[in-house]
Amino acid sequence: MTVQSKIATWRSVGRFCARRVSDYGELFRIELAETKARVLGEVVALVALAIGALFTLSFLCIAIIATAAGTPYFLQVAWGVAGAWLLVTLIAAIVMRSRRAAEPFQTLRTEIERDLQAIKEASK
């Protein structure tokens, strides 16, 4: 390859990159808006679910313990409820740690990787 052909190749690569920058910007804005909407919706839903579940389970546990208040099994029931909550907490922690993390901006990352591969092939 001569110097002039290398310069021409790099010039075309530069033009290609310049055209793609605006595409990246638009893709970034779209994915940012989608991610923001999804995260906001999930947070609102999870907060509502958590509040409802905690109130429901709290009153359920109080009812279970109050039902056993006059029986000889009162302490066993109270410790059983506490143990059940500990088990639920441990299971939730294990599930949270085993979840696959979300990959925001995956489309943008894929497009950039594809363009970098095209640039590498064009510069050979």
Amino acid at 58: S
pLDDT digits (tens, 9 = 90+) for 9-62: 778 877 877 888 888 888 888 888 988 998 898 899 989 998 998 899 899 999
pLDDT digits (tens, 9 = 90+) for 66-96: 999 989 999 999 999 999 989 988 998 898 8
For residue 109, give the 3-state DSSP assignment. Answer: helix
| Distances 86 to 46, 69, 83, 89 between C-alpha atoms, Å | 21, 22, 5, 5
Instruction: Enumerate long-range contacts of 110-116, CB under 8 Å, 24 or more apart.
Output: 111/20, 111/23, 111/24, 111/27, 112/24, 115/16, 115/17, 115/20
Distance CA 111, CA 43 (A): 29
What pLDDT is stored for residue 104 in this prediction?
Answer: 75
H helices present in the chain, as ranges: 3-67, 74-98, 106-122
For residue 116, give the 3-state DSSP assignment. Answer: helix
* Token pair listed for 27: 């893709």
Tell which wins on pLDDT, 103 or 45.
Answer: 45
The model's confidence at residue 100, banded by pLDDT at 50, 70 and 90, is confident
Distance CA 75, CA 69 (A): 9
